[in-house]
């Protein structure tokens, strides 16, 4: 497998040239987050990702996690890498300083997380799930639970999990059967959960499970679900670990990808019941869990970006070295395949998607920082509305794209891509889980239509589209290429998105199936257009910096070329997505079930 190195120069462009760093530095509590500090953080994170995590990615995939006699052992180097991660303070970056966090912006934390996941996604799933658990406990836990658990979870000394799924209850959580019975100040949990990432492992001293369960007198459906903190080891009053709780890993799943990540079947309450502690209020657990799930959905979207970047680097380096055929540039000698036009098209496609997604991800996380930190409530409300709107787009568009781009990475390798030794196939296999994680992408598309557009009559999406029109108007102020090219394609994409949104608002209230039948195409249209808007903004910034004395002309010229390619090759496809959104509902619902 070809070595990995983080795209630190592109991060610097987004934070410095595009102004995301200054945007977050202006927020309360971020005054010391200077460009120099961000650069230092990203450089040090790159060292851990490049030198520690990436080298054990392929070996971990071959070795996998091992389950024997009730014990899960992670792959070679996994635990040592995790200890370096904790000792470096990397887990604590975005969290509250009151519980040992560093209080840095989510935009910075997300850039760092991209590195961990590009280098070794199977390993990085452990801190990713812990991050979501910390968010849920911080938002909904009692003071006593926060005092006892948050410090260790924020440091990374203990890890956290999310326990939703059961054999009979996948995405439909109203079907869960795990039970919780009151027992004084705590509860006794009994049931089984499946697909629990890092539900058992040897990297931390304790594992804190957040478990959805149902009380005996709970109302039916999702309104009767409660959330409980259920530790692997109980914690004494002095903070020391106590006795083992009544829970265990039953088995590990054998998976298509992320083989070194232990995906556990968990049993709670084989004996008297696992002791758990209520998080939030009884029968309101789903609200609490959605704090964790929304965090996780943004993080999983970022994983899609990470895998796209990793596959791009792998394919690019291979294409530079692999010689096949001849080209006009090779003067009759065997040519590196990077000289062939179709290979260049594939590489540019991968790079353009990665740059567009990275810009959209960090811009959205900067909005999340505004939501959490801005002193003006109206700004916080606006930022939350925008983050809510973009969350299903980032989760689904990024991860669908990752599957396509990692497959394209295999294609660049040709037959060698189908051979495990190169590592290209691992990226493809690892990426395939992402459209399924944290609510399948069909659920994300339905969420975008139902909760983010129809619920408010299209107000949030209309606000976003109006801002895109304003961006296009600003682009009209220059006739320089590639802005003129991008402006043309962005204007057509925004018009298509606006027309499709209006159709959904008009038809969806009358016939929900009509809107949902084209929801996947609508989400893709939204993602392609949003990515195009970010590429337009990056073009403006790159042109401005390109004209400065002493500028890195080669870097900015490359940014301009990639942005133009995105406009001509990817953004240009956006208007063609409009027809499936507005016309296919009649045929989608036409066949009888038994006619399939």
Residue by residue, pLDDT tens for the chain (596 residues) are: 889 999 999 999 999 999 999 999 999 999 999 999 999 999 999 999 999 999 999 999 999 999 999 999 999 999 999 999 999 999 999 999 999 999 999 999 999 999 999 999 999 999 999 999 999 999 999 999 999 999 999 999 999 999 999 999 888 888 999 999 999 999 999 999 999 999 999 999 999 999 999 999 999 998 999 999 999 999 999 999 999 999 999 999 999 999 999 999 999 999 999 999 999 999 999 889 888 888 899 999 999 999 999 999 999 999 999 999 987 777 778 899 999 999 999 999 999 999 999 999 999 999 999 999 999 999 999 999 999 999 999 999 999 999 999 999 999 999 999 999 999 999 999 999 999 999 999 999 999 999 999 999 999 999 999 999 999 999 999 889 999 999 999 999 999 999 999 999 999 989 989 999 999 999 999 999 999 999 999 999 999 999 999 999 999 999 999 999 999 999 999 999 999 999 988 899 889 999 99
Q: Cα–Cα distance between 60 and 123 in angstroms, integer? A: 9
**For 64, phi and psi rounded to 5 degrees?**
75, 175
User: What is the model's pLDDT at position 59?
Assistant: 97
Q: Cα–Cα distance between 517 and 588 in angstroms, integer? A: 6
Q: Cα–Cα distance between 591 and 596 in angstroms, integer? A: 7
User: What is the model's pLDDT at position 178?
Assistant: 97
Query: CB-based contacts of 40: which residues, under 8 Å, 6+ apart?
Result: none
Query: CB-based contacts of 99: which residues, under 8 Å, 6+ apart?
Result: 138, 146, 150, 151, 154
Please confirm whether the linkage preceding 185 is cis (ω < 30° from 0): no
**């003006």: which residue's tokens?**
376
Q: Cα–Cα distance between 407 and 405 in angstroms, integer? A: 5
* Per-domain boundaries in the chain: 158-283, 441-595
What is the value of pTM for the model shown?
0.97
User: What is the model's pLDDT at position 509?
Assistant: 85
Locate the DSSP E strands across 375-469: none
Instruction: Quickly name the fold that domain 158-283 has.
Output: Butyryl-CoA Dehydrogenase, subunit A; domain 2 (2.40.110)
Query: CB-based contacts of 339: which residues, under 8 Å, 6+ apart?
Result: 327, 329, 330
Catalytically active residues, by annotation: 438
């Amino acid at each position: 497998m070809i070595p990995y190195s983080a795209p630190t120069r592109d991060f610097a462009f987004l934070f410095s040239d595009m102004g995301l760093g200054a945007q977050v530095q202006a927020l309360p509590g971020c005054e010391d987050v200077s460009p120099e500090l961000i650069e230092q953080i990203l450089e040090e994170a790159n060292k851990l990702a490049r030198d520690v995590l990436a080298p054990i990615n392929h070996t971990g995939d071959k070795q996998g996690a091992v389950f024997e006699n009730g014990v899960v052992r992670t792959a070679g180097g996994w635990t040592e890498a995790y200890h370096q991660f904790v000792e470096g303070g990397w887990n604590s970056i975005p969290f509250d300083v009151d519980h040992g966090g560093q209080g840095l912006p989510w935009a910075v934390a997300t850039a760092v997380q991209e590195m961990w996941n590009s280098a070794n996604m199977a390993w990085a799933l452990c801190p990713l799930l812990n991050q979501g658990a910390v968010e849920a406990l911080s938002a909904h836990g009692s003071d006593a639970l926060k005092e006892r658990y948050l410090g260790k979870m924020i440091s990374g000394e203990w890890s956290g999990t999310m326990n939703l799924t059961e054999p009979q209850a996948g995405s439909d959580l109203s079907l869960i059967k795990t039970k919780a019975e009151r027992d004084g100040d705590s509860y006794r949990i009994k049931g089984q959960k499946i697909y629990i990432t890092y539900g058992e492992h040897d990297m931390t001293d304790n594992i804190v499970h957040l478990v959805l369960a149902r009380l005996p007198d709970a109302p039916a459906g999702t309104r009767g679900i409660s959330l409980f903190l259920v530790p692997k080891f109980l914690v004494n009053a002095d903070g020391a670990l106590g006795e083992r709780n009544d829970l265990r890993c039953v088995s590990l799943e054998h998976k298509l990808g992320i083989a070194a990540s232990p995906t556990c079947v968990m049993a709670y309450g084989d004996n008297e019941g696992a002791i758990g502690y209520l998080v939030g209020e009884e029968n309101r657990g789903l609200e609490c869990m959605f704090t964790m799930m929304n965090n996780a959905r943004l993080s999983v979207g970022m994983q899609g970006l990470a895998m796209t970047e990793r596959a791009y680097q792998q394919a690019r380096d291979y294409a530079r070295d692999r010689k096949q055929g001849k080209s006009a540039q090779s003067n009759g000698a065997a040519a590196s395949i990077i000289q062939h036009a179709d290979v260049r098209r594939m590489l540019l496609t991968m790079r353009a998607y990665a740059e567009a997604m990275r810009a959209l991800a960090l811009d959205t996380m900067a909005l999340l920082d505004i939501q959490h930190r801005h002193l003006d409530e109206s700004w916080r409300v606006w930022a939350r509305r925008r983050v809510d709107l973009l969350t299903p787009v980032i989760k689904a568009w990024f991860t669908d794209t990752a599957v396509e781009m990692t497959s394209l990475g295999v294609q660049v390798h040709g037959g060698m891509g189908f051979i495990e030794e190169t590592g290209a196939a691992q990226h493809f296999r690892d990426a395939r889980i992402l459209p399924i994680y944290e609510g399948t992408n069909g659920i994300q598309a339905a969420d975008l239509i139902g909760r983010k557009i129809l619920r408010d009559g299209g107000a949030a999406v209309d606000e976003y589209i109006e801002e895109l029109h304003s961006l296009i108007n600003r682009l009209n102020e220059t006739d320089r290429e590639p802005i003129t090219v991008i402006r043309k394609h962005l204007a057509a994409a925004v018009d298509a998105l606006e027309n499709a949104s209006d159709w959904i608002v008009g038809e969806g209230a009358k016939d929900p199936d009509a809107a949902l039948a084209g929801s996947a195409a609508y989400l893709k249209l939204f993602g392609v257009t949003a990515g195009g808007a970010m590429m337009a903004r990056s073009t403006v910034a790159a042109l401005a910096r390109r004209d400065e004395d002493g500028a890195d002309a080669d870097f900015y010229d490359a940014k301009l070329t990639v942005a133009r390619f995105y406009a001509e090759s990817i953004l240009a496809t956006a208007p063609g997505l409009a027809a499936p959104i507005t016309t296919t509902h009649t045929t989608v619902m036409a066949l009888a079930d038994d006619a399939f």
